[in-house]
Chain A
Amino acid sequence: MWMWREFHSVNLNYFQIFELETKFNVDLATLESNYRKIQSASHPDRFVTATSTEKLASMQTATLANEAYQTLKSPTLRAAYLLGLQGINAITETSTAMPVDFLMQQMEWREAVEDNATNLSGMHRLLRNIKQETITLQQALADELDAKQAWQAAAETLRKLQFMDKLREEIARKLEILED
């Protein structure tokens, strides 16, 4: 029987917390069901009438489970976390040169967002295109991280994925303004 708190001192990573293999392609159903099992045992609602030390242990465990779950649920955060385990911080390495064709593509995306800024159906069409591109990048990440273990290539793909995420957030913000 492993000890939950060993995460802090030993080497239990977020995947091991949920009894998952440490890889990009995770079984999302197991992740969700194990997250719920951990929460059902540790959530502060279970310790409303408990002693203050038990409340503290509950807060720490439930908070950690939330953090780990949110990280693994998101493909982008999950990939960044996996690379982090390899000692690669893909997010802060912004100085790394991106391939020219991707930079060109970025500019095209951005122009498309500006051109459609006041056009609801145009924005929704863009969102669909972004979703398609996002899925393609996630498939590439799975290949690079799990099959090839090509960390640097994965870091580059991850940065592309992060760009798509930001673009999607930007569109969501513009949509909110349009809808208000």
Chain B
Amino acid sequence: MALLQISEPGQSAAPHQHKLAVGIDLGTTNSLVATVRSGLSSILVDEDGHNLLPSVVRYMPDGGIEVGYSAQAAQSQDPTNTVVSAKRFMGRGLKDIDVSQQPYHFIETKSASGEMLQIETRAGIKSPVEISAEILKTLKARAEKSLGGELVGAVITVPAYFDDAQRQATKDAARLAGLNVLRLLNEPTAAAVAYGLDNASEGIYVIYDLGGGTFDISILKLAKGVFEVLATNGDSALGGDDFDRRIFCWALDQRLAEQSKCTPLNAQDTRLLLTKAREAKEWLTDHASAQITSVLSTGELLNVTLSTKQFNELTQTLVTKTLAPTKKALRDAGLTIEDIKGVVMVGGATRMPQIRLSVADFFKQTPLTNLDPDKVVALGAAIQANTLAGNKGDNELLLLDVIPLSLGLETMGGLVEKIIPRNSTLPITRAQEFTTFKDGQTAMSIHVLQGERELVTDCRSLARFELRGIPPMVAGSARIRVTFTVDADGLLSVSAREVASNVEANIVVKPSYGLSEEQILNMLQSGFGAAESDKQARALAEAKVDAESLLAAIEIALEKDSDLLNAQEIQAIRGKMDALRANIHAGASHAIHEATEALNLATEEFAARRMDASVSHALAGKNLDEVNF
């Protein structure tokens, strides 16, 4: 059966086989996919030899979907059905976006999970998550065709300054595209991996990453294969797009100055002029002036010339805007510019000479531009994907990343109390205790926020939830311990427990701006157009794959570390393994799930002992010091 050939991570039918894993840079303007082949990270090109895939999705009149260059070419003629820069809308509500300069019909849907921005197209209402999923699907298809097999998984990069809602939206998009996400990796960290490994660098480096729609600054300590992020900061709504928009507005002002009265631009002309503005910006990278000429749909001719000097003046405030986060990151890391060994430039927008000059001026050194700023993130992500998929030996490289924005809770008076401060190394867990303020109170509401400001209204609301089932007690005597965990993807989960009575209240936190689990399942199912019997067959196939991979992993663990268990313990685990095998044979997906869970539970102690042994071994040995680039 074809479904059983899905190669899953951890499946060890052929343990030494090279696993197909890719790094994906899901950019605002362009996206890329890269992989490691014969030890070298390289970009996978399309049939026409293009490295980049423009992050543009067009919903066609015939019901089809175009992604990339063809969609980009049609953006001026079909602006409302051609979505560019969807990344700017990920995990966002309408109030976060300046809609006046966007050609789309925005819709805000209010569901149980909160408000979410969506775009009305001829193919129906589309969320930014679905639009991004189309880009990911195209890259997945490109990779599978080029590598000749199904992908084990992908590392997808996100701006370091993305908050929880934006990260979750990215992960949801990958899921819709049928990609197994090995890790969400911060873009500047990915760039540092590519740069550091390429240049065998040691010391403290700054990654200045100005993309199409986001700005990140990360400060990393590179030493012996460890990439430790000391601090990160940025602006998730600042990028090369904004420079285009400055030119666009300037051109409109020129037009207004020349004519006594002029009609406002329609969506088509807005898109046309924005494209011309982008071309002018790129032209000015190595020319002294750029001419913007376009014939508008009214027949009106717009013809203006922009000099480098004018361009620099128009965009000076944007350039300066990148320096405030840079100063914050330096201060958070407790460093001054004298401590910085090098500044690596990442993102297409760092090609602009005024950016390079201003960065050089700030850091008192020439920034490093020897890697292609468009490709370096994808190349780094591919290296990490290769490591995570298990293609390299252990200890090759270790990335220690941080949470970019503080997490907090709403307290009395609309204030935010910080629980996890920004720049804490991940993964991290923090617990906070609450009590009831009324006699017999059985529920309590909790509001989780992300951001640095003191007022609730100035931070991003991630989730509101109610803790129910608190045993009735005298006011102040219940002790409710709420635990916040941020995993290595930078994603938050929350659990709660009443300490005195030990009542557990598990909560799944979905950001207020995200898709609900139900919506995702619906999209997945409508995508497959699956009949009930197909769904069952798929569920069974997946349960079997999970069970087989667990059995294989435990066999390997027993082979290696059975000395950590006594005969009785080995027998207990063997018993659960036999039970699971019997269930796989019987072929009922529900029973397979249960037997898999039982086996997982039976091996908890074994897993903990193996971890102990592995840590002890690492401390005793010198394996990390032996790593060389």
Q: Which residues of A contact B (CB under 8 A)?
A: 1-6, 19, 33-34, 36-46, 48-54, 56-59, 61-63, 66-67, 69-70, 172, 175-176, 179-180
Q: A52, B424: Cβ atoms under 8 Å? A: no
What string of 1s and 0s marks CB contacts (under 8 Å) between B385-403 and chain A?
0011110001100111000
Q: A50, B10: Cβ atoms under 8 Å? A: yes
Which of B394, B426, B604 has a CB less than 8 Å from the CB of A46?
Answer: B394
Which of A6, A19, A48, A51 has a CB less than 8 Å from the CB of B603?
Answer: A51
- Chain A residues lying within 8 Å of B384, measured Cβ to Cβ, are 45
- What's the Cα separation between A48 and B426 when bound, in Å? 15
- Chain B residues lying within 8 Å of A4, measured Cβ to Cβ, are 611-612, 615-616
- What's the Cα separation between A61 and B394 when bound, in Å? 17
Which of A41, A69, A180 has a CB less than 8 Å from the CB of B615?
Answer: A41
In the complex, how many angstroms separate the beta carbon of B602 from the nearest chain A beta carbon? Answer: 9
With both beta carbons as reference points, the residue of chain B lying nearest to A55 in the complex is identified as: B607
Which of B9, B182, B428 has a CB less than 8 Å from the CB of A66?
Answer: B428
With both beta carbons as reference points, the residue of chain A lying nearest to B454 in the complex is identified as: A173
A-B contact count (CB 8 A): 132
Q: B604, A67: Cβ atoms under 8 Å? A: no
Which of B487, B553, B607 has a CB less than 8 Å from the CB of A44?
Answer: B487
- Chain A residues lying within 8 Å of B388, measured Cβ to Cβ, are 45, 48-49
In the complex, how many angstroms separate the beta carbon of B595 from the nearest chain A beta carbon? Answer: 14
> Is B312 on the interface with A (CB-CB < 8 A)?
no
Chain A binding surface SS class: helix
A48-B182, A49-B390, A50-B10 known; A41-B607 Cβ under 8 A: no
- What's the Cα separation between A56 and B613 when bound, in Å? 16
- Chain B residues lying within 8 Å of A67, measured Cβ to Cβ, are 428-429
- What's the Cα separation between A27 and B618 when bound, in Å? 19
- Chain B residues lying within 8 Å of A1, measured Cβ to Cβ, are 613, 616, 620
> Is B582 on the interface with A (CB-CB < 8 A)?
no
In the complex, how many angstroms separate the beta carbon of A178 from the nearest chain B beta carbon? Answer: 10
Q: B424, A70: Cβ atoms under 8 Å? A: yes
Give the interface centre of B488, B554, B611, B618 by most chain A CB atoms within 10 Å: B611
- What's the Cα separation between A36 and B554 when bound, in Å? 27
A-contacting residues, B579-629, CB 8 Å: 600-601, 603-604, 606-621, 623-625
With both beta carbons as reference points, the residue of chain B lying nearest to A3 in the complex is identified as: B612
Q: B607, A57: Cβ atoms under 8 Å? A: yes
- What's the Cα separation between A34 and B425 when bound, in Å? 16
A44-B427, A179-B324 known; A36-B226 Cβ under 8 A: yes
Q: A70, B488: Cβ atoms under 8 Å? A: no
- Chain B residues lying within 8 Å of A59, measured Cβ to Cβ, are 427, 485, 487
- What's the Cα separation between A38 and B617 when bound, in Å? 9
Q: Which residues of B contact A (CB under 8 A)?
A: 9-10, 153, 182-183, 226, 323-324, 327-328, 331, 384, 387-390, 394-395, 398-400, 424-429, 485, 487-488, 550, 553-554, 600-601, 603-604, 606-621, 623-625
In the complex, how many angstroms separate the beta carbon of A121 from the nearest chain B beta carbon? Answer: 15
Q: B399, A51: Cβ atoms under 8 Å? A: no
- Chain B residues lying within 8 Å of A33, measured Cβ to Cβ, are 624-625
In the complex, how many angstroms separate the beta carbon of B424 from the nearest chain A beta carbon? Answer: 7
A36-B226, A36-B624, A44-B487 known; A63-B428 Cβ under 8 A: yes
Q: B600, A51: Cβ atoms under 8 Å? A: yes
Q: A62, B427: Cβ atoms under 8 Å? A: yes
Q: A180, B624: Cβ atoms under 8 Å? A: no
With both beta carbons as reference points, the residue of chain A lying nearest to B429 in the complex is identified as: A63
Q: B611, A42: Cβ atoms under 8 Å? A: yes
- Chain B residues lying within 8 Å of A69, measured Cβ to Cβ, are 425
In the complex, how many angstroms separate the beta carbon of B304 from the nearest chain A beta carbon? Answer: 33
- What's the Cα separation between A175 and B9 when bound, in Å? 48
- Chain B residues lying within 8 Å of A6, measured Cβ to Cβ, are 612
- What's the Cα separation between A3 and B611 when bound, in Å? 9
Q: B9, A45: Cβ atoms under 8 Å? A: no
- Chain A residues lying within 8 Å of B328, measured Cβ to Cβ, are 176, 179
With both beta carbons as reference points, the residue of chain A lying nearest to B185 in the complex is identified as: A45
- Chain B residues lying within 8 Å of A34, measured Cβ to Cβ, are 619
Q: A5-B608, A45-B388, A53-B603 are in contact. List 6 more A-B contacts (CB 8 A).
A: A1-B616, A4-B615, A42-B615, A45-B399, A57-B611, A179-B323
Q: A38, B618: Cβ atoms under 8 Å? A: yes
Q: B618, A45: Cβ atoms under 8 Å? A: no
A59-B427, A172-B331, A176-B328 known; A49-B10 Cβ under 8 A: yes
- Chain A residues lying within 8 Å of B183, measured Cβ to Cβ, are 45, 48
A40-B624, A43-B398, A45-B388 known; A56-B604 Cβ under 8 A: yes
- Chain A residues lying within 8 Å of B615, measured Cβ to Cβ, are 4, 38, 41-42, 61
- Chain A residues lying within 8 Å of B153, measured Cβ to Cβ, are 48
Q: A41, B614: Cβ atoms under 8 Å? A: yes
Q: A51, B425: Cβ atoms under 8 Å? A: no
Q: B607, A51: Cβ atoms under 8 Å? A: yes
- Chain B residues lying within 8 Å of A51, measured Cβ to Cβ, are 10, 550, 553-554, 600, 603, 607
- Chain A residues lying within 8 Å of B10, measured Cβ to Cβ, are 49-51
- Chain A residues lying within 8 Å of B323, measured Cβ to Cβ, are 179
